[in-house]
């Protein structure tokens, strides 16, 4: 299943035939192939030492550490994250959306199925490092796809940090991340914004779209009273309940780094105007597009779900 998923996305990455997309597809293939080989090696090691090929019963310590690192490589977690920003930058916005959302489902499902056999310390360490590097790496970026790549790394870090303690919160965080990322990518696709400078002119397409993009960015940053605050709140509560005060405090500080580049995007999108002349063309109307209903639905869920948190966690 993992290999079918990988081989199916590679032609999509290289669809606009240019050197950058070819490079991105090659990097993606090499990383995913190496991760798959590491998964096979970990299962072989477990079978050699324990006599079972069941991947949900990784009793050997080297086997489950290799398995965790292989899935971290597939997802783009620190310290195996260097390929993700480069691959997204070489892809179109639509392909970047698929890599940032759909391609995360299979590895996260494997993590969920094998949590009982994985090292809690390794998972929390990977999550902590990913949250820090995801926030730090996005500070100096000007390309929206690279910013979304580091945003993905940071969010996956939050999921990994809570996964051994409260797997259900990890799944909730995953679905909220998928909704918010899908909504923001749809808006970036409609506005054709590939750089921060491109977002300055998005208001000529639709002022309401710009307002929605601003709120979505704040939700991704985890500000209340938006939906993005819910997973951070629940994860911090879970970490403090388990007496992991240092991890919770470090994750909170790391989220401030991510919030900075979200606020930077918000500022350029809503409060900055590029030089324009009297003949500037105002469209004020979006062309019919299949991504508009998806963006509307995902945006609504990404903004308004916080009040029903008590119903979700009951």
In a domain, 281, yes or no: no
Domain count, the chain: 2
Sign of CA dihedral 298, 300, 302, 306: negative
Please report, for residues 44, 97, 122, 142, 230, the alpha-carbon distance to residue 161 in angstroms, rounded to integers and kept in the order given: 27, 24, 9, 28, 15
Residues 189 and 303 in one domain: yes
Residue 280 domain-assigned? no
**Final residue belonging to a domain, choices 58, 93, 111:** 111
- Final residue before a domain boundary, out of 54, 82, 111: 111
Domain ranges, residue 131 = 119-272+286-308+310-314
Same domain? For 139 and 262 the reply is yes
- Do 148 and 295 reside in the same domain of the chain? yes
Residues 92 and 181 in one domain: no
| Domain end point (choices 91, 111, 131) | 111
The answer to whether residue 277 sits within a structural domain is no
Q: What is the pTM of this model?
A: 0.90
Q: Which residues touch 103 (CB under 8 Å, ≥6 apart)? A: 5, 9
Secondary structure (DSSP) of the chain = -HHHHHHHHHHHHT-S-SHHHHHHHHHHHHHHHHHHHHHHHHHHHHHHHHS---TT---SHHHHHHHHHHHHHHHT-TTS-THHHHHHHTS-HHHHHHHHTHHHHHHHHHHHHTGGGS-HHHHHHHHHHHHHHHHHHTTT--BHHHHHHHHHHHHHHHHHHHTTT-HHHHHHHHHHHHHHHHHHHHHHHHHT--BHHHHTTGGGT-HHHHHHHHHHHHHHTT-TTSTTHHHHHHHHHHHHHTT-HHHHHHHHHHHHHHHHHHHHHHHHHHS------TT-----SPPP-THHHHHHHHHHHHHH-GGGHHHHH-
Residues 212 and 141 occupy one common structural domain: yes
CA dihedral 125→104→34→153, nearest 10 degrees, is -40
Contact indicator for 180, 219 with CB cutoff of 8 Å = yes
Residue 247 located in a structural domain: yes
Same-domain pairing of 152 and 79: no
d(CA 56, CA 50): 13
Residuewise pLDDT in 10s, the chain (314 residues): 778 888 889 999 988 888 899 999 999 999 999 999 999 999 888 888 877 777 777 777 888 899 999 999 999 999 999 999 999 999 999 999 999 999 999 999 999 998 888 889 999 999 999 999 999 998 988 899 999 999 999 999 999 999 999 999 999 999 999 999 999 998 898 888 888 888 888 877 777 888 888 999 999 998 888 888 999 999 999 999 999 999 999 999 999 999 999 999 999 888 876 666 556 555 555 566 656 677 777 777 777 777 777 766 66
| 279 belongs to a structural domain | no
Same domain, 144 and 222: yes
């Amino acid at each position: 299943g993992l290999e079918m998923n990988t081989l199916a996305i590679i032609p999509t990455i290289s669809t606009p035939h240019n050197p950058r997309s070819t490079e991105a597809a090659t990097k993606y293939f090499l990383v995913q192939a190496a991760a798959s080989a590491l998964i096979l090696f970990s299962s072989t090691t477990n079978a050699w030492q324990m006599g079972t090929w069941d991947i949900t019963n990784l009793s050997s310590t080297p086997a489950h550490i290799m398995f965790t690192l292989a899935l971290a490589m597939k997802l783009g977690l620190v310290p195996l994250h260097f390929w993700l920003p480069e691959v997204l930058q070489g892809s179109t916005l639509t392909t970047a959306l698929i890599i940032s959302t759909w391609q995360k489902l299979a590895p996260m499902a494997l993590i969920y199925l094998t949590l009982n056999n994985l090292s809690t310390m390794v998972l929390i360490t990977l999550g902590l490092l990913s949250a820090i590097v995801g926030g730090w790496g996005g500070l100096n970026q000007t390309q929206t796809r690279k910013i979304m790549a580091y945003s993905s790394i940071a969010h996956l870090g939050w999921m990994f940090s809570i996964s051994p303690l409260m797997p259900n919160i990890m799944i909730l965080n995953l679905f909220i991340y998928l909704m918010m990322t899908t909504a923001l990518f749809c808006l970036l696709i409609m506005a054709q914004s590939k750089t921060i400078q491109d977002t300055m002119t998005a208001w000529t397409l639709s002022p309401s779209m710009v307002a929605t993009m601003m709120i979505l960015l704040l939700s991704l940053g985890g500000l209340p009273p938006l939906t993005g605050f819910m997973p951070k709140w629940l994860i911090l509560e879970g970490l403090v309940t388990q007496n992991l005060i240092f991890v919770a405090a470090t994750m909170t500080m790391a989220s401030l780094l991510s919030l900075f580049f979200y606020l930077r995007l918000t500022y350029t999108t809503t409060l900055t105007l590029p030089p324009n002349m009297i003949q500037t063309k105002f469209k004020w109307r979006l062309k019919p597009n299949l991504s508009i209903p998806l963006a509307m639905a995902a945006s609504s869920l990404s903004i308004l779900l916080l009040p029903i948190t008590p119903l979700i966690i009951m």
